[in-house]
Structure 1
Amino acid sequence: MKIAIGADHAGYRLKDVIVPMLKQLGHEVLDVGCDCADSVDYPDYAIPVCDMVVNGEAERGILICGTGIGMSIAANKTPGIRCALVHDLFSAKATREHNDTNVLAMGERVVGPGLAEEIVKVWLDTPFSQGERHLNRIRKVMGLEDKQALHP
C-alpha cells in the first residue's frame, strides 16, 4: 500500500518511528516532512498528505502532531478525506470498520511509540465492513461537502 505521512515539529519523532515500520511491513511511504523541532504550521503538512490521498497518489495518509487534534481538524477540511484522531486500538479498528477512514491522526505527546505502531498496524489491517448502515452514514457525511460547495 502507498501511504503518505506528515508531521509537524511536535510529531516528527514519532513519524521517524512509524516510517521505518511501514517500510518493514512492505508499504511504500511518501514522507512530506517535517524533520526537525523548529516550529512549523501543521496545515502545511496535513494538506499535502490529504491531497495525495484524494488525488490517488496514496491510498491512505497518516498525520502526527503534538495531540493529533490540529492535524485532524486540518485534514477534515479537505473534501474526500475522512480523518480520525486515534489514541487506542479499539478506535483504530472501529474507525476503519465503521467510517472507512482514509487518514489517521495521532498525537506524539499522547501515545508512545509502541502503542502508535500497534495503532497504525490495526488501522492499516482492518477493512471497511461495507455494512449498509455504515455506507449510508458515510454518504450523509460526504454529502455535507456537496452542501458546502454549493453554499460556501
Structure 2
Amino acid sequence: MRIAIASDHAAFDLKAELREYLIELGHEVADLGPETADRVDYPDYGYKLAGVVADGTAQFGVALCGSGIGISIAVNRNPACRCALVTDPYAATLAREHNDANVVAMGARLIGVDQAKACLDAFLSAQFANGRHTGRVDKLTHPTC
C-alpha cells in the first residue's frame, strides 16, 4: 500500500519508528515531514497529509502530534478525508469497518510505540463493512445540514 505519514515536533520520534515499521511490512511510505524535531505547527502537516490522501497519491495516511487531536482536526478539514483518532487496535478496526477512515491519528504523548504499531496493524488490515454504514459515511462527505 501507499501510505503517507506526517507529524509535528512532539511526534517526530514516533513518526520515525512507524515509518520504519511500515517499510519493514512492505508498504511504500511517503514521509511528509517534518525532517527534524524542531518546533512546527501541526496544521501545516495535517493539511499536507490530507492533500496527498485526497488526491490519491497515498491510499492511507498516518497523522501524529502530541495528543493526536490537533492534527486530526486539520486532516478532517479536507472533505475527502476521514481521519480517526485512535488509542487502541479495536478503535482502529472500527474506524475502518464503520467509518471508512482513510487516515489514522495517534497522540505520541498518549500512546507507546508498541500500541501504535498494533493500531496501525489493525487499521491497515480492516476493511470497510459497507451495508448500513455506507449511507452514514456518505453523509460525512456530503452533509445534509
TM-score scaled by length of structure 2: 0.96
Distance 2:82 2:122 in 1: 17
Give the aligned residue type for 1:140: K
Distance 1:27 1:90 in 2: 22
Q: Would you say 1:136 and 2:135 are equivalent positions?
A: yes
Please say which structure displays the higher CA radius of gyration.
1
Shift of 1:36: 2.5
CA contact (8 A) 1:9 1:35 kept: no
Deviations 1:18-58 (A, max 9, x none): 00110111100000111322211001111111100110100
Aligned residue for 1:46, secondary structure, equals helix
Tell me what 2:40 maps to: 40
1:2-151 map, 5 Å:
2-131=2-131, 133-144=132-143
Shift of 1:85: 0.3
Aligned residue for 2:34, secondary structure, equals coil
Q: Give runs of ≥4 in structure 1 deviating > 3 Å.
A: none
Instruction: Report how many residues are paired.
Output: 145
Aligned residue for 1:37, secondary structure, equals coil
TM-align CA RMSD:
1.1
Distance 2:109 2:51 in 1: 26
Identity rate, percent:
46
Deviations 1:71-97 (A, max 9, x none): 110011012100000011110011100
Distance 1:86 1:124 in 2: 13
Distance 1:58 1:37 in 2: 24
Aligned residue for 1:127, secondary structure, equals coil
Shift of 1:129: 0.8
CA contact (8 A) 1:84 1:101 kept: yes
Shift of 1:9: 0.2
Give the aligned residue type for 1:92: A
Give the aligned residue type for 2:61: G
Distance 1:14 1:4 in 2: 14
TM-score scaled by length of structure 1: 0.92
Distance 1:139 1:118 in 2: 28
CA contact (8 A) 1:87 1:111 kept: yes
